[in-house]
Amino acid sequence: MLAYLVRRLLRAVTTLLGTTLIIFLLVRVVPADPAVSIAGPKADPQTLAKIRKDLGLDDPVAVQYGRYLWALAHGDLGRSYITERRVTDVIVERLPATALLALASLAVGFAFGLGVGIITAARQGSAVDLGVLLGTLIGLSLPAFWVGNLLIYLFGYRLRLLPLGGFGTLRHLILPAATLALVEFFFYARFVHANVSGTLGSDYIRTARAKGAPPMRIYLRHALRNAMIPIMTLLGLDVAALMSGVVLTETVFNWPGLGRLAVQAVFSLDIPLVAGTVLFSATLVLASNLIVDLLYGVMDPRVQRG
């Protein structure tokens, strides 16, 4: 187990280093001049030169990358060009809104997806199964920004039941969470269905059936339990999908989270803020993948040798 742990941690660290390199290169190839986005388009050349010198933009690229890593090692993501606030502070400020939205939609989508996935796996070939399959194929194809707009129109404008957007109360959470949960739901319904019906064909299920175990017990106790390992793995990987999902949803609903922050930062060429949010999301994804892998190693010892 220890060897597995060390190997896995080492890989996570090299991946994280690679991520910082990609982000650094991405930010360095920007055609736009950061000095201009700080001082404005009308600034005189001396001011621009001074800003460039202060930011160290004239140093060799390797030196800049080293300085970037050094700052990161000290937990310093730099300061926003526009507001001059520390990027870490801004991220910490925006994180709760995104976490609330992501966790709420994940909880709802996962719970319903799990239930529907088990039911359709138990009733394969039935009308319910086919209906859910078609619903999933269609549901996963609808663009989230469009679904969000339809929900706003229907529940916000027509029925006047819920606010059109913004943040604050539980009522504000319902529509954006529903938009995001819809995709999560279809995703898990399909995945749980596939994995549970996969295990339903195994010998030990036949044995359980032959013993006369009640169907409910077979589905929940035997089939679901074995299908839980891949399902749990997917939950970890889903963090990446959620981090992408919140970007569009937050934009549609004016939700003050990390996704909208990143989009705004990109549009205002606020490089440190862009780099900071991308690195933060990547680290989150990396950490969740690592946790899932380690759990996986605990649950299924064969993995450790892989």
> What is the number of other CB atoms lying within 10 angstroms of the CB of residue 256?
17
Which range of residues in 46-54, 66-74, 109-117, 246-254 is near another protein by CB under 8 A?
246-254
Determine the Cα–Cα distance for residues 105 and 173; give it in Å rounded to an integer.
10
277 is a site residue for another protein (CB under 8 A):
yes
Query: For residue 47, which of 61, 33, 60, 31 has the smallest C-alpha distance?
Result: 33
Binding positions for another protein, 168-197, rule CB under 8 A: 187, 190-191, 194-195
55 is a site residue for another protein (CB under 8 A):
no
Token reading at 77: 């993501």
Query: For residue 187, which of 74, 260, 106 has the smallest C-alpha distance?
Result: 106
**Smallest distance, another protein to C-beta of residue 239, A:** 9
143 is a site residue for another protein (CB under 8 A):
yes
The Cβ-side half-sphere exposure at 160, using a 13 Å CA radius, reads 0
Binding positions for another protein, 21-40, rule CB under 8 A: 22, 26, 29-32
Token reading at 46: 């001396």
Which range of residues in 76-84, 168-176, 215-223, 274-282 is near another protein by CB under 8 A?
274-282
Handedness of CA 89, 17, 68, 258 (dihedral sign): negative
**Smallest distance, another protein to C-beta of residue 105, A:** 16
18 is a site residue for another protein (CB under 8 A):
yes
Determine the Cα–Cα distance for residues 120 and 127; give it in Å rounded to an integer.
9
Listing DSSP states for 136-148 in one string gives: HHHHTTS-HHHHH
**Smallest distance, another protein to C-beta of residue 229, A:** 8
201 is a site residue for another protein (CB under 8 A):
no
Query: For residue 216, which of 286, 305, 123, 102 has the smallest C-alpha distance?
Result: 123
Determine the Cα–Cα distance for residues 100 and 237; give it in Å rounded to an integer.
18
Determine the Cα–Cα distance for residues 61 and 251; give it in Å rounded to an integer.
34
Which range of residues in 65-73, 85-93, 205-213, 227-235 is near another protein by CB under 8 A?
227-235
C-beta closer to another protein: residue 222 or 288: 288
The Cα-based distances of 16 to 123, 221, 283, 295 in angstroms read 44, 38, 7, 20
**Smallest distance, another protein to C-beta of residue 138, A:** 6
C-beta closer to another protein: residue 111 or 269: 269
- Quick check: helix, strand or coil at residue 228? helix
Q: Which of 116, 118, 208, 274 binds another protein (CB under 8 A)?
A: 274
Q: Which of 124, 126, 202, 207 binds another protein (CB under 8 A)?
A: 124
> Given the rule CB under 8 A, which residues bind another protein?
11, 14-15, 18-19, 22, 26, 29-32, 124-125, 129-130, 133, 137-138, 140-146, 149-150, 152-153, 157, 187, 190-191, 194-195, 198, 229-230, 233-234, 237, 240, 243-245, 247-248, 251, 259, 262-263, 266-267, 269, 274, 277-278, 281-282, 285-286, 289, 293, 296, 303
